[in-house]
Amino acid sequence: MSGEVVSIHIAGKAQSTLVGLTEVHAEPGRGLEGDRYFTKTGTYSETPGTGRDVTLIESEVIEALDRESGIRLAPGESRRNITTRGVALNHLADREFRVGDVTLRGTRLCEPCDYLQKHTGNPGLLEALLHRGGLRCDIVVGGVIRVGDPIVFG
């Protein structure tokens, strides 16, 4: 089974706007090169735990937000690093899978938070994204992730 990478976004520091990239280097234990969590300057960098290397969200969820709730998120506005298509991310929690040549391990769901709702100015976003806000992952085997890369699992 497979899906694909639709877009890649990173932010250089906490609360800054995410920038779109066509490719990014992923390093185990650090995250995506240039991202706020790679440099330990993210909002939650001091909070211990797994799943801080990279976050993913389904493009289908972003599209559903618009249809169901009238909430429109621009690319990267979800504050997730990688937007996917064709893969049910919730099913990859506690599993390893490949994104191009990189191996990720889904650690837990990336539930929405008050910060995301305030940052986007979309009341109702917390409720609309509940249990479908994406997936937090650790990088197991590093490399380069590119837009268009397959996401292979199963």
- Confidence at 48, pLDDT banded by 50, 70, 90: confident
pLDDT in tens, 68-86: 999 999 878 999 999 999 9
CATH class of 2-152: mainly beta
pTM for the model stands at 0.93
Res 117: pLDDT: 67
**Is 82 buried (19+), middle (13-18) or exposed (0-12) by CB count in 10 A?**
buried
Rounded CA-CA distance 95/104 in Å is: 8
Rounded CA-CA distance 18/77 in Å is: 7
Which sequence spans correspond to the domains of the chain? 2-152
E strand or H helix that includes residue 109:
strand 102-109
**DSSP 8-state assignment for residue 32:** E
User: How many Cα atoms are found within 13 Å in the side-chain-facing hemisphere of 99?
Assistant: 37
- Confidence at 7, pLDDT banded by 50, 70, 90: very high
Tokens in use for 104? Answer: 């990720």
E strand or H helix that includes residue 22:
none
**Which of 37-46, 87-96, 109-118, 142-151 is predicted with the least confidence, judged by mean pLDDT?**
109-118
Closest CA to 18 of 78, 106, 86: 78
pLDDT in tens, 82-140: 999 999 999 999 999 999 999 999 999 998 877 776 777 778 888 888 899 999 999 99
Q: Span 52-80, mean pLDDT?
A: 93
